[in-house]
Amino acid sequence: MRPLVLASASPRRRELLASLGLAFEVVTAQVVEHEDPSTDPRVMVAHNAALKADWVADRHPEAVVLGADTTVFLEGAALNKPADGSEARAMLRRLSGRTHTVFTGLALRCRATGLSLADGEGSDVTFKPLDERVIEEYLSRVHTLDKAGGYGIQDHPELIIAAYAGSLSNIVGLPLERTKLILTQAGLLT
């Protein structure tokens, strides 16, 4: 069986992929992601997932490489990773009391076999109405700068989350159902 490589630095993706029981290594793609907030989020995450998978696959041609990218989408705009605490605060204020969609794109590549698969997932998340005290408490408890939308549903959800619909693992950053599907198509899972 060909080795599996995760083309992501995300510790959450690493944990989720490990839950499938597969051995894999992590190689972080050295790419500049497309993050124009006006781009259709499905297109953006598919592009970025492919960019990461392709970069790593070019350097590890015998491996099967999984790339993934996630963003938060609200009112026609993507909310990517905040640049600083001020931007994280602004994102939480925008999400307060509203429903948004979390999109993840997946790309699977293997240069040696010509494998090229893609998939994606969308899930809805509804925030509780947040006042400034709750926003500050959340920011004091959670490192938000490496998370699209400035939050992680797995980190103190009781403070910010009212409900979600769809794949929870997608909201965290790797939709396990879709990931299993493309890994099965590639022959890595049965």
**Residue 190 belongs to a domain:** no
Predicted pLDDT at 125: 98
Mean pLDDT score of the chain: 96
Structural domain span for residue 29: 4-185
**Residue 163 belongs to a domain:** yes
Per-residue CA distances from 135 to 25, 77, 87, 114 (Å): 36, 21, 12, 47
C-alpha 130/C-alpha 149 separation (Å) is 14
C-alpha 40/C-alpha 177 separation (Å) is 23
Given a cut of 80, is residue 166 above it in pLDDT? yes
Q: What's the structural domain count of the chain?
A: 1
pLDDT tens digits, 33-91: 998 878 899 999 999 999 999 999 999 999 999 999 999 999 988 999 999 999 999 99
CA neighbor of 28 nearest in space, from 5, 62, 58, 2:
5
The CATH number of residue 82's host domain is 3.90.950.10
Looking at the DSSP bridge assignments, the partners of residue 103 are 71, 122
**Residue 71 belongs to a domain:** yes
Predicted pLDDT at 8: 92
**Residue 82 belongs to a domain:** yes
Give the β-pairing of 115-127 and 99-110. Answer: antiparallel
Give the β-pairing of 4-6 and 64-74. Answer: parallel
Catalytic residues: 69
Residues 6+ apart with CB under 8 A from 9: 26, 28
**Residue 73 belongs to a domain:** yes
Predicted pLDDT at 82: 96
Given a cut of 80, is residue 98 above it in pLDDT? yes
Predicted pLDDT at 129: 98
Q: Please check whether residue 127 is in contact with residue 161, taking contact to mean a CB–CB distance below 8 angstroms.
A: yes
- In the DSSP assignment, the letter for residue 148 is G
Give the β-pairing of 4-6 and 99-110. Answer: unpaired
CA neighbor of 35 nearest in space, from 69, 67, 8, 65:
69
CA 142 to chain centre: 17
Whole-structure pTM value: 0.93
Q: Is 25 helix (H, G, I), strand (E, B) or coil?
A: strand
**Helix extents (H) in the chain:** 11-18, 41-59, 85-95, 132-141, 157-160, 168-172, 176-185
